């Protein structure tokens, strides 16, 4: 048995490039709006080599979002969960708050980087409340609900995403910053 095969047989429980896209939208969950944001995010992740396990559509409801996040992290053990929608300041925008509830560790720099990039384009970016956190070995990233905003934010973190997922899953290689 080659060393390569041995590596494969000890494959991690959390394959590095599996992903789920959760769209958080009352109107989407009621079937009143097409899920363009979820689609463009999923397409972009696939183009980057991520294996999209499934997509979820939930209303702007704290327990529903929490349940979806926990299912992905605890049961399905996907490497990356990207949410789109519910990051604003409207009364029912609670995606970041649900994410804060389930995250074991926060990654504030990813959220800061996304906002700083968006802020260079529009002052409205400062009311995007998205957070990034880790639950078990799953990275959870909140993106805004508009297709253009979601894609723009995703592009900001893509250069660091693959390395982040490897580290979260315990890649022991030393990183020189």
Of 96, 151, 90, 76, whose CA–CA distance to 118 is shortest? 151
Of 63, 126, 54, whose CA–CA distance to 94 is shortest? 63
| Residue 146 within binding range of its own copies, rule CB under 8 A | yes
- For its own copies, the binding residues in 84-123 under the rule CB under 8 A are 88-91, 93-94, 96-97, 105-113, 115-116, 118-119, 122-123
CB of 8 to its own copies, least distance (A): 22
d(CA 43, CA 27): 22
- State which H helix or E strand residue 20 sits in: strand 18-24
Closer residue to its own copies in complex, CB, 1/89: 89
Q: Which of 53, 127, 138, 142 binds its own copies (CB under 8 A)?
A: 127
Per DSSP bridges, beta strands 132-135 and 138-143 are antiparallel
CB of 2 to its own copies, least distance (A): 28
- For its own copies, the binding residues in 6-65 under the rule CB under 8 A are none
d(CA 45, CA 43): 6
Q: Which of 28, 85, 86, 149 binds its own copies (CB under 8 A)?
A: 149
Give the number of other CB atoms < 10 A from CB of residue 61: 16
Of 29, 26, 37, 36, whose CA–CA distance to 142 is shortest? 37
CB of 100 to its own copies, least distance (A): 9
CB of 148 to its own copies, least distance (A): 6
Of 68, 80, 65, 69, whose CA–CA distance to 15 is shortest? 80
Residues of the shown chain interacting with its own copies in the complex, contacts defined by CB under 8 A: 88-91, 93-94, 96-97, 105-113, 115-116, 118-119, 122-129, 134, 137, 139, 144-146, 148-149, 152, 157, 159-160, 163-164, 167-168, 170-171, 175-177
């Amino acid at each position: 048995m080659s060393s390569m095969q041995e590596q494969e047989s000890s494959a991690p429980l959390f394959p590095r490039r599996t992903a789920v896209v959760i769209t958080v939208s009352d109107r989407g969950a009621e079937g009143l709006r097409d899920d363009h944001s979820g689609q463009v995010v999923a397409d972009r992740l696939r183009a980057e080599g991520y294996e999209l396990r499934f997509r979820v559509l939930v209303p702007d409801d704290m327990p529903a979002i929490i349940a979806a996040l926990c299912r992905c992290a605890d049961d399905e053990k996907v490497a990356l969960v990207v949410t789109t929608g519910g990051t604003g300041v409207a009364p029912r925008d609670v995606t970041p708050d649900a994410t804060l509830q389930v995250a074991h560790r926060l990654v504030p720099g990813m959220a800061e980087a996304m906002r700083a990039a968006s802020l260079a384009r529009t002052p409205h970016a400062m009311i995007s409340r998205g957070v990034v956190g880790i639950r078990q070995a799953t990275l959870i990233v909140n993106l805004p609900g508009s297709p253009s905003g979601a894609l723009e934010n995703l592009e900001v973190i893509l250069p660091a995403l693959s390395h982040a997922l490897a580290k979260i899953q315990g890649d022991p290689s030393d990183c020189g910053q």
